[in-house]
């Protein structure tokens, strides 16, 4: 059983998707702890409701980033964590932390990286006029929203989309892919070779996705 930690800063809907998945008897991962840098984060309530250790470790309580990250790292070690999942964790982690958890630290981002890293991804996608956006799960490297890509979900942008409707459609995909990827990692199917990810025993779609759809 793979022990994972989920690091959050807010709502925690991806955390909830992981909680729901991990409560199924045949799921090969368990959430050992949830850490939030924001004490009021809704995600901490979700963790407590599921009887998962929920820790608030505020960056404001530490003199600098190294001591903040050491405090998180200590908790992860104490809880026997083997994989760290960032899920809306709004602090950029230092190279020290990222190297320490290299290839055991993943993030979910609401765009098809490398397009639209950072914040306001859905507004940026609408402003640019892309026909597909989506979400990406990747191993974390020191640069923000960067690292070997494990999986992506492509989500069509519709003509009447607003930031809210697009965000909701992408979020639904996030909730599908994050638990699936943790499942594959727990089964040791995910390997990084020369900064590219290979997943054993999975299929790739054969046909292109089109938006708009063809009209014969």
Residues forming contacts to ligand GRF in the complex (CB under 6 A) are 8, 10-15, 43, 87-88, 108-110, 135, 171, 174
Query: Do residues 68 and 49 touch, judged by C-beta distance below 8 A?
Result: no
Active site residue 109: yes
Q: Closest CB to ligand GRF among 47 and 207? A: 47
Q: Closest CB to ligand GRF among 172 and 187? A: 172
Output the smallest distance, CB 153 to ligand GRF, in A. 11
Q: Closest CB to ligand GRF among 117 and 187? A: 117
Output the smallest distance, CB 123 to ligand GRF, in A. 13
Query: Do residues 85 and 182 touch, judged by C-beta distance below 8 A?
Result: yes
Q: What are phi and psi of 112, to 5 degrees?
A: -85, 90
Euclidean distance between CA atoms 50 and 33, whole angstroms: 11
Rounded to the nearest 5 percent, the helix, strand and coil shares of the chain are: 35, 25, 45
What are the C-alpha distances in Å from 58 to residues 7, 12, 68, 156? 12, 16, 8, 37
Query: Between 42-49 and 13-22, two packed helices, what is the crossing angle to 10 degrees?
Result: 10
Output the smallest distance, CB 121 to ligand GRF, in A. 8
* Residue number with the smallest Cβ distance to ligand GRF: 88
Distance of CA 182 to the CA centre of its chain: 10
Output the smallest distance, CB 38 to ligand GRF, in A. 11
> How does DSSP assign 48-97, residue by residue?
HHTT--EEE--GGGSSSHHHHHHHHHHHHHHTT-SEEEESS--SPPPHHH
Output the smallest distance, CB 11 to ligand GRF, in A. 4
Q: Show which residues are catalytic.
A: 109
């Amino acid at each position: 059983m793979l022990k994972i930690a989920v690091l959050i800063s807010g709502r925690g809907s991806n955390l909830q998707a992981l909680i729901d998945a991990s409560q199924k008897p045949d799921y090969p991962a368990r959430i050992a702890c949830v850490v939030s840098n924001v004490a009021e984060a809704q995600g901490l309530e979700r963790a407590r409701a599921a009887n998962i250790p929920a820790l608030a470790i505020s960056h404001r309580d530490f003199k600098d980033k190294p001591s903040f990250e050491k405090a998180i790292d200590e908790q992860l070690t104490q809880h026997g964590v083997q994989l760290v999942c960032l899920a809306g964790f709004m602090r950029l982690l230092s190279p020290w932390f990222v190297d320490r958890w290299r290839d055991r630290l993943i993030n979910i981002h609401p765009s098809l990286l490398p397009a639209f890293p950072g914040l306001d991804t859905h507004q940026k996608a609408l402003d640019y006029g892309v026909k597909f956006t989506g979400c990406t799960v990747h191993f974390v490297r020191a640069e923000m929203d960067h690292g070997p890509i494990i999986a992506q979900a492509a989500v069509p942008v519709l003509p009447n989309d607003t930031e809210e409707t697009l965000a909701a459609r992408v979020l639904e995909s996030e909730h599908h892919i994050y638990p699936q990827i943790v499942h594959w990692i727990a089964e040791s199917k995910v390997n990084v070779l020369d900064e590219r990810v290979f997943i054993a025993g999975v299929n790739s779609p054969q046909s292109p996705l089109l938006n708009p759809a063809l009209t014969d």
